[in-house]
Amino acid sequence: MLEQVDPAFRADVVNGLSEPIPSIPARWLYDRRGSELFDDITRLPSYYPTRTETALLKAKMGEIAALACNGCAIVEFGSGSSTKTPLLLQAMKPAAYVPIDISGDYLRESAGRVDRRFPDIAVHPVEADFTKPVDLPKEIDGLPRLGFFPGSTIGNFVPRSATDLLRHFRDILGTGAKLLIGMDRVKPVERLIAAYDDPEGVTAKFNLNLLRRINRELEADIPVEDFAHEARWNDMLGRVEMHLVARSNVEFMIDRKRFAFAAGETIHTENSHKYGPRGARLLLLAGGWTPLAEWTDDHQDFALILAEA
């Protein structure tokens, strides 16, 4: 059966590959297989962010809950299959939980799980793209709001878009709202590269899966084995970049357009920005949020920041 193809996918791929520096927006990495591979990445020994953030939440939850939520409604941006949410709900005992996710399947599954496990919390799932305007359910009118944006997903947005997104969260949640956000810290390059180019090769599969998706959904003929995964640290811009590098001269067709890559040329597929303490706070301030408190692990690998709109 032919899959439904999102016209925005076709446009992003064809336009992105036609740019002088070929790139494809990272959101297209997450088809069903890509999401499964990302779940696998979060369990890899070298991928520290998920493990560190979860441990941090567990260790500091009492303190975080006391400052962040008093009978509030928790609004989670991009709830996915998050395992961090139960920790929050257990400790904060919010009046309501509003998971927002673009994937209806994930959303219904996670909302159902929360509903069964926390019968006293009203769950109001919203199927939406949180980067676009979102109406919150009227059932939470009048409740204080806490936005939750874990996982350092903010790092996948270039600072210009990250500040737009933070301002958008402020518009959705309203003045007086709070935001608990996870941000990955700058650290030695070897550790960053190991996290994004693991010895098990899972991140390579995740990155290359994008080419398989293009072949399948856009009936293209990219020779996937002629591309290799590469993770690079861009020191000037403070980010890890994922690229797909042509191993040899490669030609392929997408949508009756021909594309040619010389050996060594790349397709840029993702950015993952890392922030120092001041950079993180400045980003929040530029996005309309005043930092109130910050928690980090013993190695200062990862930070959770509570901010107020």
Binding marks (x or -) toward ligand AVI, 265..284, rule CB under 6 A?
Answer: -----x-x------------
- Part in contact with ligand AVI (CB under 6 A); list of ranges 82-90, 96-104, 152-160, 292-300: 152-160
Q: What is the per-residue DSSP string for 259-309? A: EEE-TT-EEEEEEEE-B-HHHHHHHHHHTT-EEEEEEE-TT--EEEEEEE-
Q: Which is nearer to ligand AVI, 53 or 226 (CB)?
A: 53
Least Å from the CB of residue 243 to ligand AVI? 12
Alpha-carbon distance values, 41 to 189, 231, 296 (Å) = 19, 14, 22
Looking at residues 54 to 113 of the shown chain, list those that interact with ligand AVI (rule: CB under 6 A): none
Tell me the C-alpha distance between 201 and 303, whole Å.
Answer: 27
Alpha helix positions (H), 69-198? 85-92, 104-117, 159-173, 189-196
Least Å from the CB of residue 126 to ligand AVI? 20
**Binds ligand AVI by CB under 6 A, chosen from 82, 85, 153, 266:** 153
Contact between 34 and ligand AVI by CB under 6 A: the answer reads no
Sheet order of strands, 239-246 included = 227-234, 239-246, 266-273
- Part in contact with ligand AVI (CB under 6 A); list of ranges 67-75, 117-125, 148-156, 216-224: 148-156
Q: β-strands 126-127, 96-101: how paired?
A: parallel
Least Å from the CB of residue 197 to ligand AVI? 9
**Binds ligand AVI by CB under 6 A, chosen from 156, 163, 209, 266:** 156
Contact between 152 and ligand AVI by CB under 6 A: the answer reads yes
Least Å from the CB of residue 53 to ligand AVI? 10
Q: Which is nearer to ligand AVI, 143 or 194 (CB)?
A: 194
Least Å from the CB of residue 44 to ligand AVI? 9
Tokens of residue 185, six digits: 């810290």
Tell me the C-alpha distance between 117 and 94, whole Å.
Answer: 14
Tokens of residue 78, six digits: 């991009």
Alpha-carbon distance values, 303 to 127, 214, 260, 270 (Å) = 28, 35, 42, 21
Binding site for ligand AVI (CB under 6 A): 41, 49, 151-153, 155-156, 196, 203, 270, 272
